[in-house]
């Protein structure tokens, strides 16, 4: 199951490098929810709203997955960002697509 998280993070990094978020966004369900801690527009509900958020303010740093814990349809991934910092991605899947993704950031040391 960790493969689905690693692939989603690979697609995220590809989006950062190329500006093409298509592959990353395609894995979200039509009714998915994206929650980003500290983002005043969050949560984004629906793939169209998520795509709009990425178009308006695309992320500019890649991430590395340091660990993944899988429990049925939910994955919890610890990540680090290339610009510094770490955090947790919680991803809930339904029928092979992302139903909910939540990004939380660790407090700085």
Per-residue pLDDT, 1: 58
Q: Is the pLDDT of residue 101 over 80?
A: yes
Structural domain including 99 reads 2-105
The pTM of the whole model exceeds 0.85: yes
pLDDT tens per residue across span 19-66: 999 999 999 999 999 999 999 999 999 999 999 999 999 999 999 999
Distance in angstroms (rounded) separating the CA atoms of residues 2 and 42: 26
For the chain, the domain total comes to 1
The domain spanning residue 38 has which CATH number? 3.10.450.50
What end-to-end distance do the CA atoms of the chain give, in Å?
A: 31
What's the average model confidence in pLDDT over 84-103?
A: 97
pLDDT for the residue 84: 93
How many other C-beta atoms can be found within 10 angstroms of the C-beta atom of residue 71? 8
């Amino acid at each position: 199951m960790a493969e689905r998280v690693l692939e989603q993070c690979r697609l995220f990094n590809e989006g950062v490098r190329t500006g093409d978020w298509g592959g990353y966004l395609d894995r979200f369900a039509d009714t998915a929810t994206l929650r980003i801690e500290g983002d005043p527009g969050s949560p984004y509900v629906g793939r169209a709203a998520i795509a709009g958020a990425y178009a308006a303010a695309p992320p500019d740093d890649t991430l590395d997955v340091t660990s993944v814990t899988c429990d049925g349809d939910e994955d919890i991934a610890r990540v680090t960002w290339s610009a510094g910092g770490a955090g947790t991605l919680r991803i809930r899947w339904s029928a092979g697509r992302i139903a909910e993704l939540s990004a939380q950031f660790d407090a700085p040391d």
